Structure 1
């Protein structure tokens, strides 16, 4: 078998990471929540890996960043350049190893990667409760099956941790984007290539086992992955060129995602008619069988000054590479490309999203990704048809009816919970043998449930210790009663429950990470009551 000599190189520039759907507020927000929007939650993306859970808080140009990663939760607080305050508090689905977890800030977002306490156990959701907040989204561009992915993840995290140690106090940490470029994969002999990054003019390959220096080796390339990147990259060049020619929209950056890609255009908006016209035009060029060629020039050649470019990297050496789409575009680029636009097959523009700093993000698919998207959509349509018992044209209305039914059930459940709270309080008050301490735990209660009981019983003569949530996991607690007593015992109860809380005017409430220690907190309160005079 002949030896094949290749150099596996990473593709070119990747643009902003946080370019997905903007968060819209749900209808019917409770007035108390509206009052809190001077400190609003940041849009959050997450995805699961065998050893880690990854989070990305999408706040551009963040300042005053504070990230507190705990075993059962993460808390983020920060501001953006407009002084808008962001605050997110997420209780995890399962425990993480906070001591082996890290975070970093970039100009586009704050990224956290948390080491799982139980590795290789999938998280079906991020949050403890099976309720999805409006600001939380699955990062589908990074979500994929685990098979064959563990070593890649390990290299990515280890490389990031190593780079963090090299960062001086003058420079920001490297972005996770720098460790997740769409590089090539393959084999060196029979050894898998886990990652390829650029160091100056050289390609740095990460492999599972060491290789003998100076050896001649045979390289095998993952062609499916390479060809996918070629289609998306050449498609981006074509879309960028035609958008400029038709509308004068300049491309300022782009992102090659795992399932979809995004071009950032320097226009505040783009009409539906413009999107349709652009899609028709680029697909006409594909059908015209236009050649794509690559030429190399020396740095300083006059030809280089005439092409579209955002400049060369600081560590660039050697010739300058120009990718040309005949009579359409000439662009300085180091990426891999098709040799003819017909190899792109088809381009589908999925629409636009609001970008940063008065720009627009254009979402697109090229070639095989269009076919896979149609396949996924058809599979989803078949599943919904089976579940909803109607045709595809009726799916939306059927889901709306189900959502309305769920809202009504939730409302009824809330009313029943409130009635139960009142009856519970009345039952205690009507008991002639009631004591000075009232203790209650309910798995399906909430903060309002506890406060209704406290209001109905009164706090002048009775000390109330109320908890809600799963007894074996985290939950909420409320200690209510005489002001001095609560101020004294509230922090001690929170400490026993390994939680945090705050209080005023005879109420101390918060979150508890160890509900299983409720009995210890109750014993503390009973001991306190036992030592008090009847006046207390």
Structure 2
């Protein structure tokens, strides 16, 4: 059954009454109703569906299936003939502004540089178009934005017209149509002629304004983010709050913020460099201390220690520093955390042991994983035994290998 589409007769309808034709569930068990006529716009053409209420019950989705417009509702309505319907006008008008703004922006890109739009997405906060180009410059974006806002300020009419295929020759369409019947054109005279089934305001002035936010490369295309109308005010308000906050944090007025931020970043990099130098000195000192505390196991020098909540990269660096200082020592470090154990094994160049083999021998003890090579390896897993027990097992591996293949 085909639903009469009031949103094409008058896109400004906010409330209406209609007869209930059907109430049913879809294949996913969602409740929907079909009305004789509706002003609820269904998802399509890049524009999201309307929301609102029918007899006080929230409409959460609207889709069109073979001309039948299904209104998905939170709960069943009482079976009655007439339904009172209310459109969420803020949402609808926002969609009208964004959709019309997209037409203007896409036409401006094509008018100015010949850049064609290949897709459009109307998001909850941000809209995007994908341009059939690999790169976009600041100068190009500024020129297109200026033209788009000029068209908006001129308050040109936005017309919707149903035409036949034979009548299309009278219009210079921006892109090829995807349908050959029920053709609806949205027209901004002397600027844009485009096939579209969405809702738009009656003039460009109602779009209010358009702002390009940023763009990025998407494979061979460029994705442009933009907002129109009330969303421009929202973006401005959000950014103004950030600027006000940064004014205090950076202790600089708006026109000096970039300079202040760059100065802080430079200082931060210098601090990080100094911190790394101090950290390296500390690791070097700790390495020397641990070498002096080395133990002998079957005439093999071993440096071992258990750490708690230590950084694994730091343990790796400490182990490498030790074997870099002395080439006849084994290093076993364990990092103990609340529910897991991690360990690092390293050796000096004069020793024949294979660190990867030692890790593989002990990984089953913690139900974990490990990897490495003959001189450096690491592993980790569950804390199913104590750190001291794991250390004993690592040292025991040295005795086993030393009494076997390395004797």
> Could you tell me the TM-score, scaled by structure 2's length?
0.74
| 2:330 equivalent to 1:467 | no
TM-aligned CA distance change 1:460 to 1:525, over 3 Å:
farther
The corresponding residue for 1:400 is 262
Q: How many angstroms does 1:330 deviate by?
A: 1.8
Q: Distance in 2 between matches of 1:489 and 1:368?
A: 65
| 2:378 equivalent to 1:509 | yes
TM-aligned CA distance change 1:337 to 1:2, over 3 Å:
closer
Q: Which runs of 4+ in 1 moved over 6 A?
A: 212-215, 473-476
1:441 aligns to what SS in structure 2? strand
Contact preservation (8 Å) 1:479, 1:490:
yes
Question: Counterparts of 1:355-374 in structure 2 under 5 Å?
Answer: 355-357=218-220, 359-374=221-236
Q: How many angstroms does 1:484 deviate by?
A: 5.4
Q: How many angstroms does 1:226 deviate by?
A: 1.6
The corresponding residue for 1:10 is 43
Contact preservation (8 Å) 1:185, 1:195:
yes
Q: Distance in 2 between matches of 1:340 and 1:463?
A: 76
Contact preservation (8 Å) 1:440, 1:466:
yes
The corresponding residue for 2:205 is 342
Q: How many angstroms does 1:382 deviate by?
A: 0.8
Contact preservation (8 Å) 1:252, 1:265:
yes
The corresponding residue for 1:486 is 355
Q: How many angstroms does 1:452 deviate by?
A: 3.2
Which ranges in structure 2 are unaligned for 5 or more consecutive residues?
1-14, 19-37
Map Cα deviations across residues 385-404 of structure 1 (whole Å, 9 max, x no partner): 12222211221222222222
Map Cα deviations across residues 342-399 of structure 1 (whole Å, 9 max, x no partner): 1011122335433432x43333221111111111121111101122222112212222
2:83 aligns to what SS in structure 1? coil
TM-aligned CA distance change 1:520 to 1:321, over 3 Å:
farther
Q: Distance in 1 between matches of 2:400 and 2:246?
A: 65
| 2:105 equivalent to 1:239 | yes
Q: How many angstroms does 1:208 deviate by?
A: 3.4
Map Cα deviations across residues 175-217 of structure 1 (whole Å, 9 max, x no partner): xxxxxx7332223333333334454544454443345678653
| 2:168 equivalent to 1:303 | yes
Q: How many angstroms does 1:464 deviate by?
A: 0.7
Which structure shows the bigger proportion of residues in helix conformation? 2
Q: Distance in 2 between matches of 1:336 and 1:483?
A: 77
TM-aligned CA distance change 1:276 to 1:410, over 3 Å:
closer
Given candidates 103, 118, 122, the residue that maps to 1:252 is 118
The corresponding residue for 2:56 is 190
The corresponding residue for 2:22 is none
Q: How many angstroms does 1:528 deviate by?
A: 5.2
Of the two, which has the highest radius of gyration? 2
Q: How many angstroms does 1:9 deviate by?
A: 0.7
TM-aligned CA distance change 1:400 to 1:494, over 3 Å:
farther
Contact preservation (8 Å) 1:417, 1:445:
no
Q: How many angstroms does 1:509 deviate by?
A: 2.6
Q: How many angstroms does 1:507 deviate by?
A: 2.0
Contact preservation (8 Å) 2:134, 2:219:
no
TM-aligned CA distance change 1:519 to 1:397, over 3 Å:
farther
Contact preservation (8 Å) 1:483, 1:507:
no
Q: Distance in 1 between matches of 2:62 and 2:361?
A: 53
Q: Distance in 2 between matches of 1:206 and 1:351?
A: 36
